[in-house]
Amino acid sequence: MAREFRLRPSPNADVFSNESGYSLDRRRFMRYSFNSAAGLITMASLGSIGFASLLMGTRDSEGGSNAISYWVPKGQEDSVWYGSKHLEAMKKSEFEGEAAKSATNMSGAQGVWGGMPVTVVYVPHEENKNSATSTGAPRFQFMDGVDQTGAIIGYGGEIEEEEKWSVLKIHDNIVILMSRCPHLCCIPGWQLVANDFTADNWLPGGLDSGGNKLFCICHSSRFDPTVIEKNTNINRTNGAAFQYFGIKRTGGPTPVGIPLIPFVVNNDVMEAIDFEAEGVVEILDWYTYCS
Ligand code: FES
Q: Whose CA is nearest to atom 1 of ligand 1?
A: 184
- For the chain, list the domains and their CATH numbers: 22-290 (2.102.10.10)
Please identify, by atom number, the ligand 1 atom nearest to the C-alpha of residue 45. 1
**Segment 111-144, tens digit of pLDDT:** 998 788 999 999 999 999 998 877 778 889 999 9
For 89, list phi and psi in degrees, rounded to 5: -65, 135
**Segment 244-289, tens digit of pLDDT:** 999 998 888 999 999 999 999 999 999 988 777 777 888 888 999 9
Q: How far is the CA of 86 from the centre of ligand 1 (A)?
A: 25
Give pTM, 2 decimals.
Answer: 0.78
DSSP calls for 253-288: S-SS-EEB--EEEETTEEEE--TTTTT-GGGGGGGG
Q: For residue 101, how many other CB atoms are within 10 A of its CB? A: 10
The preferred substitution site among 46, 200, 219 for testing ligand 1, maximizing ligand atoms within 8 Å of CB, is: 219
Q: How far is the CA of 166 from the centre of ligand 1 (A)?
A: 30
Q: Whose CA is nearest to atom 2 of ligand 1?
A: 219
